[in-house]
Amino acid sequence: MAHIPTPTSSSPPSADGLYRVGTLTYTKAALLNVLFWMLLGDFCLQIMEQLPVALVPLQLRWAEAPDALIGFLAASLPAFLGILLNPFVGVQSDRHRGRLGRRRPFLLWATPVVVLALVGLGCAAPASTALAEWVGATSAPALKIGWIAACMVVFVVGNTYIMQVYQFLFVDVIPSQVMGKFVGCYRAVGALGAFVFHRYLFGQAEERVTEIYVFSGLLYAVSFFLLVWFVKEGEYPAPPPKARGGLAQAKSYFRECYSHSLYWKTYSLSLFFWGACAPLWTFLVFFGTAPGKSVTGYAPTLGLSLEEFGHVRGWASLITVPVFFLVGPLVDRFHPLRVAMVGLLLSALSFFACYAFVKDGGSLLFWFNASMIAQAIYMGSYLAILPRLLPRAKYGQFFTANQMVGFCGNVFAPVICGWIIQQVADYRFVFIWSGVCTTMSFIMCVLLYRQWKQMGGEQGYQPPETAATA
């Protein structure tokens, strides 16, 4: 198959003042309308996404789960299921043709599944208590852990479709000449959603966990139904013939996606960065607050209340908003790989600084904010890297191949880090773990940049698609 040119730099609209992507043509007003609905959906999506990340570890701790099990259920289990599902999601979405396009149908049917799972998570305490009374069980905490695990499985299945297909939709409806700016706005709006959650909802988790889940889930559902209604997809060419047999399709998938060293370097960015972040978001709350009555013999934590810790997390999200807006134009101007290297290096240094200098709530606010600024520089560039390097005709397929490798970091890192924390009995160790993993991601980004330059760089790069080109 011939290579489809990948955009290498920012460019203005065409001479007639229109923006084009595929068969879609936008005036400036029409483009702003699409951007509005995409970003509104992202704002509500990010509020919803905070629920399993921020609340499930607390719910498991309240059920007296150990750190390794918390790491597995809150982070590793979703990542493991993602590895299994992602290849099917990418190929299924790439090949689908329907009245709503190839992306929006999956957003439409997966949304009710996600909302149902969130309501189940919000009702974990009363549901497990009622179940224990019904079956005559003596261990309600164990039933609560099982209930949360079951709801997480349902949530991950639906949310895998949501998160993957939503990001595929970027490439199909957003013109390449504004992709960097859109990714900057996308990250900034997402950070605003995280700020709203942590500033106004997280501190009430102990008293109103059910209401928080229901409100956030319904807000997300309304925004995504509106997105499906107002954002239109263009026409797509017929998909290529399927390889005969499931084994042949699997061989084709792995040969195309994993046969070139450039793709492995690209995938390794997410492997190490997600391996850094998954344990951080799982265990940071226990370092910042009291870790729980069932945890004894650990090094002292900061002992903040949930409300105080929520304010720290909220401000850390808010401070990234201007960074994301600034990173977007820098990505378009200097190329996302160059910006990513800066962000990864600063992120690694900031994690080590958190380990050395965080002593109380004030120092946590300062150094964690510094870390979030550094991470924002990288995350603001990361999503713009993939459209520049991956083949656009099979973008969903290659995107999910990247996710599979990245999710390996999410699968193993939280359990391993949680086990190490149990051995050293100190939640502060999570900063060392994150610093080491981010350093590895920086090294891989440097190697990827060098290979990209060797393959043509800014002007001549074309995505390799087969093993024969390796």
- Tell me, yes or no, whether 414 lies in a domain: yes
pLDDT digits (tens, 9 = 90+) for 331-369: 778 888 999 999 999 999 999 999 999 999 899 999 999
- Tell me, yes or no, whether 457 lies in a domain: yes
Q: Which amino acid is at 79?
A: A
Q: How many domains does the chain have?
A: 1
DSSP annotation of 241: P
Q: Are 125 and 141 in contact (CB under 8 A)?
A: no
Q: What is the CATH number of the domain that holds 181?
A: 1.20.1250.20
Domain of residue 213 covers 27-233+244-469
Phi and psi at 443, nearest 5°, equal -60, -45
- Tell me, yes or no, whether 164 lies in a domain: yes
- Tell me, yes or no, whether 19 lies in a domain: no
Reference 23, options 183, 175, 164; nearest CA is 175
Q: List the chain pLDDT tens, one digit each, 470 residues.
A: 233 333 333 445 565 678 888 888 888 899 999 999 999 988 998 888 888 888 888 888 888 888 888 888 887 888 788 778 877 787 788 788 888 888 888 899 999 999 999 999 998 888 888 877 777 666 677 888 889 999 999 998 998 888 888 888 878 888 877 877 787 788 788 888 888 888 888 888 888 889 999 999 999 999 999 999 999 988 888 877 766 666 777 787 788 888 888 889 989 998 999 899 888 888 898 888 876 656 677 888 898 888 888 888 888 888 888 888 788 778 778 888 999 999 999 999 999 999 999 999 899 999 999 999 999 899 888 878 888 888 877 777 788 788 788 888 888 888 899 889 988 989 999 999 999 999 999 999 999 999 988 888 777 888 786 543 33
Reference 64, options 272, 277, 294, 230; nearest CA is 294
What pTM, to 2 d.p., does this model score?
0.70
According to the model, what pLDDT value does residue 138 have?
Answer: 60
- Tell me, yes or no, whether 456 lies in a domain: yes
Structural Rg of the chain based on CA atoms: 22
Helix (H) or strand (E) holding 342: helix 336-357
What is the C-alpha to C-alpha distance for residues 307 and 445, in angstroms, rounded to an integer?
Answer: 37
As to burial, measured by CB atoms within 10 angstroms (0-12 exposed, 13-18 middle, 19+ buried), residue 297 is exposed
Produce one character per residue of 352-388: b if its CB has 16 or more CB atoms within 10 Å, e if not: bbbbeebeebeebbebbbbbbbbbbbbbbbbbbbbbb
DSSP annotation of 25: E
Separation in Å, CA 386 to CA 95, 176, 395, 432, 445? 20, 12, 9, 28, 13
- Tell me, yes or no, whether 2 lies in a domain: no
- Provide the CB-side half-sphere exposure for 319 (13 A, CA): 17
Helix (H) or strand (E) holding 24: strand 24-26
What is the C-alpha to C-alpha distance for residues 156 and 123, in angstroms, rounded to an integer?
Answer: 17
- Tell me, yes or no, whether 38 lies in a domain: yes
The dihedral built from the CA positions of residue 179, 181, 182 and 184, taken in this order, carries a sign that is positive
Separation in Å, CA 246 to CA 179, 186, 239, 408, 463? 35, 36, 17, 23, 26
- Tell me, yes or no, whether 282 lies in a domain: yes
What is the C-alpha to C-alpha distance for residues 52 and 151, in angstroms, rounded to an integer?
Answer: 10
